[in-house]
A and B are shown apart, each in its own frame.
Chain A
Amino acid sequence: MIFTEAIFFVFLAAVFTAYWLLKNHREWQLRLLLVASTIFYGWWDWRFLLLIGTVILISWITAQQVSKRQENAPSRRAWLIFGITSSLAILGVFKYFNFFADSSIAMLQAIGLTPSAGAVHILLPVGISFYIFQAVSYIVDTARGDLKAENRLSRVALYIAFFPQLVAGPIVRAASFFPQMDRIKPLNRGLVAAGLRAFLLGFAYKAGIADNLAQFVDPVFGSALVPNDADLTVWSNGALVGASLAFAGQIYFDFVGYSLMAIGVARWFGFYIPKNFDYPYASTNIADFWRRWHISLSSWLRDYLYIPLGGNRSGKVKTYRNLMITMVLGGLWHGAAWTFVAWGALHGLALAMHRALFVGKSRRLPAILALIATQLFVLLAWVPFRAESFGDTIIAWSAFVGLRTGGPETLPWIVWAVPILIILDAALGHSRLRRLARSSLIRRPIIFWGGLGVLTATLFALYPLEAQPFVYFQF
């Protein structure tokens, strides 16, 4: 069930109505959300429910056991290790088994051995990376004493499986979510308006823009939907650069779109989920980029990986090492392929270089130059993220600098207009224009309802009749 599909709207309407009919029965409201989340996730494949159920049980039991024990008790540490490693082991098996098995076989073949390849291929459960990270953060926060272990299994289950952000984030912290389960919010105009604004903007990003950009990216970089797509050599240099540009736009509008829709849907049920993006393509250095891109993941990596590794407290070399480890693992989190590892490593390297050259120093690049350099790096780094192999990555990078003879296939001119959409989006998000949106003129009923009519008609025309899954579902 994808947020842009008709069936989701039917589901949402039913759950919304039932939820607010139960407005005087908080526990029933929460149970309803849990049932709805179960249906939502089981819609993909009912077998996934067994897996998420296991993750929920592990988190609940671990948190209970950890909180019962004294801080220095060895059994407490044992429970903590059990909880974290078993959660990560589930992620490892379901997400990375095929990757490591294939990589091992390739390595053995490279040294002349011919291993008998098993035919085991494990299905990747949608959203597993997101809910495992939520489960781990719950266990760790409980162990750190930042959070009281929740006795009710159903509440832990709802925290991990809450359907608006279950399959592609944002990764919500337990400390922020649990108190909201006890907080009763009335259904009012403000709640509906906030949800509608976020959902509509997200829908415009996803259905109006991202899905339309996919048609220029998939034929070049490959997609399960496009057969015979693997050969990049048929594309001209311009097409490869254009497709990279289109992908930069696609992944941004797709993921921001999903996050906003998740935030909007959660608001309609009275839950607040913090924003996940803050116009990252307006950032003027790579550290700034990571403060604005997939904020819930970057802060998770910071709090549960970078800082426990030592962060920046143990000297320069260890700081760079920690940055590299964090970003390489962050890359691997995105997908079980060496190209994702390379993407993470590139960002780790860029963060380390930025730290070495600029942090704590007085030197600064002119803002426009810093913006261009940062975004050019981000664009180039998207290539291995999207390409299916290192070979494809090299071909596409070569196209950027004209180091290859281009093929005959070209892309339409509109791919060069992607920066217009990104700049327009950033401009519209600028605080001055946002203030304008709050002006009394904009808030006149005729402007709102008329504007909604125009937007609806526009989104109808842009709506992809064959709904495309969100890019981040695969992560």
Chain B
Amino acid sequence: MYTILLALSCLALIGAHFLRLPNKSSFIGNVLSFSAALLLTTIGIRAITNASGVGRATQFDAFVNRAALIAENSDAPLIVFSGASFSRNAIDDDRLTYILREKGYPHQAINISLEAASLVERKMYLDALIARSSRAPDIMMLEVAQITDTRPTFIFNNSKFSSRAINQFNVEGVLWSTAGLLEDGCSGLVDCAKESVFLGAHGLVNVFNLGLVSQGKTLSHEAPQMSYDGALEAKETIDGTDRQHGLTTQNLVSPRAAHNWARSLRAIQHRDILAAGTSKVGYYFPPVISPGARAYVADICAGELADYTCIAPTDPALLAKLDADVWLDREHLLDDGAAVYVAWLADQLIASGILDEAAPQQEGAQK
């Protein structure tokens, strides 16, 4: 990392000392020379940082490094959960591992979820996990949520021009997110214009490596950290009647698929994960009070993801147990709520059979 910093500093010194405006030159030739040199140097710098494992560090790297460390030190089959804040507050991986082992399954659960993580960002970090880990996870459970299926630039609500926001909008991320924005990913002209400008600006910052070396770190050196964030106190007061109404309302399941961009991205990710050596991929969504958000996942499970293990939190028994002071807010569970959910999730995983089969899952063949 520091070698790159020193080398680039020397290069900057030399370049800045030696530039002298030429006397005569052609405009097109100048533009071509400048653009080609800019592009080649940019690509070169990115290639060098990538090869050295240097990048903009985020909390995800700490989660991924923990997962990689567990993978290295454990022979147990790994089941990795990847999602946004819903999962970060709900999937207590140590507790889930304990429950599974009590029920005779040797699996090691690992949660690598982070708030406001978009589909694009999660895909990026699952790829990083596979690259940094000595073995691919045996099972990957991917969160499906209405908000991340419909708002590709949701991160801007959380932060702008942060390492996370810049990281996820590489060329691939910009393309996926643009497709998402074009497909109802924003509402109204002003919102769409704002999101598009931010997306473009983040894309440029990413593509041109802005601050990549000055702020870069060796990603594999980030201290491992647990993702599960078991909150003990509610952030907002939830009216009991309101909560009961939300949890008992059940919408009829009408099978459907997500927007094209989200469906395509998921399909490609599914394929890539299997190609990387993971045996099975499943889907899930932690419980929320809003019946609409639960129903969305139930519909996707019945439609787009009907061929796979897909666990929607629509079980009335689960929701009845959660009709208590176990909510951080309307979308996130407290530690007590996570305990209820994880116990239920363990049963669902076992019942789905996803933990049983050793043979690699064939595309669209297993449930």
Contact = CB atoms under 8 A, between A and B. Distances in A.
A joins B in a complex = yes
A192, A428, A429, A454 pick with most chain B CB within 10 angstroms: A454
Nearest to A200: B16
A209 B16 CA distance: 12
A211 interface: yes
Given A445-B26, A463-B214, A208 B8 contact: yes
A428 B12 contact: no
A434 to B, nearest CB: 8
B276 to A, nearest CB: 30
Contact of A413 (B2, B15, B215): B2
A417 interface: yes
A404 to B, nearest CB: 26
Contacts of B31: 449
A20 B282 CA distance: 64
Nearest to A209: B9
Interface stretch (A129-137, A228-236, A308-316, A435-443): A435-443
Contacts of A453: 33-41
Interface stretch (B17-25, B99-107, B295-303, B304-312): B17-25
A424 B30 CA distance: 29
B365 interface: no
Contacts of A413: 2
Contact of B210 (A197, A209, A442, A465): A465
Contact of A421 (B10, B17, B30, B212): B10
A464 B8 CA distance: 14
Contacts of B22: 443-445, 447-448
A196 interface: yes
Contact of A452 (B37, B161, B215): B37
Interface in B213-230: 213-215
Interface string A170-210: 00000000000000000001001100110011011100110
A446 B29 contact: yes
A449 B33 contact: yes
A455 B9 contact: no
Contact of A458 (B15, B21, B25, B26): B15
B208 interface: yes
Nearest to B19: A451
B13 A445 contact: no
A445 B22 CA distance: 5
Given A446-B29, A463-B211, A204 B12 contact: yes
A462 interface: yes
Contacts of A464: 211, 214-215
Contact of B17 (A196, A412, A428, A459): A428
Contacts of A449: 25, 29-31, 33-34, 37
Contacts of A208: 8-9, 12-13, 16
Contact of B21 (A193, A417, A436, A463): A193
A203 B17 CA distance: 12
B217 to A, nearest CB: 11
Given A209-B12, A465-B161, A445 B30 contact: yes
B161 A197 contact: no
A123 interface: no
B13 A209 contact: yes
Contacts of B20: 193, 197, 437-438, 442-443, 448
A451 B8 contact: no
Q: Decide if the interface of chain B is mainly helix, strand, loop or mixed.
A: helix
A445 B17 CA distance: 16
Interface string A294-328: 00000000000000000000000000000000000
Point out which of A448, A455, A461, A464 has the most chain B C-beta atoms below 10 A from its C-beta: A461
Nearest to A447: B22
Contacts of B161: 465
Given A445-B26, A453-B35, A421 B9 contact: yes
A438 to B, nearest CB: 6
A417 B25 CA distance: 38
Nearest to B26: A445
B6 A452 contact: no
Nearest to A260: B16
A414 B9 CA distance: 11
Interface residues of B, number: 46
A405 interface: no
B359 interface: no
A201 B42 CA distance: 20
B38 A465 contact: no
A28 B300 CA distance: 66
A457 interface: yes
A474 interface: no
B198 to A, nearest CB: 14
Nearest to A202: B16
A450 interface: yes
Given A197-B20, A437-B20, A448-B19, A455 B12 contact: yes
B6 A414 contact: yes
A104 interface: no
Contacts of B39: 453, 457
Nearest to B30: A449
Given A189-B21, A445-B25, A465-B210, A452 B34 contact: yes
B175 interface: no
A455 B19 contact: yes
A455 to B, nearest CB: 4
Contact of A457 (B10, B24, B25, B208): B208
B209 interface: yes
Interface string B165-187: 00000000000000000000000
B45 A458 contact: yes
Contacts of B10: 420-421, 424
Contact of B214 (A193, A203, A205, A211): A211
Contacts of A192: 21
Contacts of A436: 18
Contact of A456 (B14, B23, B26, B38): B38
B232 interface: no
A421 B34 contact: no
A450 B33 contact: yes
Nearest to B207: A460
A410 interface: no
Nearest to A428: B17
B253 interface: no
22 contacts: A204-B16, A209-B9, A414-B6, A421-B10, A429-B17, A437-B18, A442-B20, A443-B21, A448-B20, A450-B33, A452-B34, A454-B11, A454-B38, A455-B12, A460-B42, A460-B209, A461-B211, A461-B212, A461-B214, A462-B9, A462-B214, A465-B205
Interface of A: 189, 192-193, 196-197, 200-201, 203-205, 208-209, 211-212, 412-414, 417, 420-421, 424-425, 428-429, 433, 436-438, 442-465
Given A414-B6, A449-B34, 7 more contacts: A201-B16, A205-B16, A444-B22, A445-B25, A453-B35, A461-B210, A465-B205
Of all A-B residue pairs in the complex, the 5 with the closest CB atoms, nearest first, are A453-B37, A445-B25, A457-B41, A193-B21, A455-B15
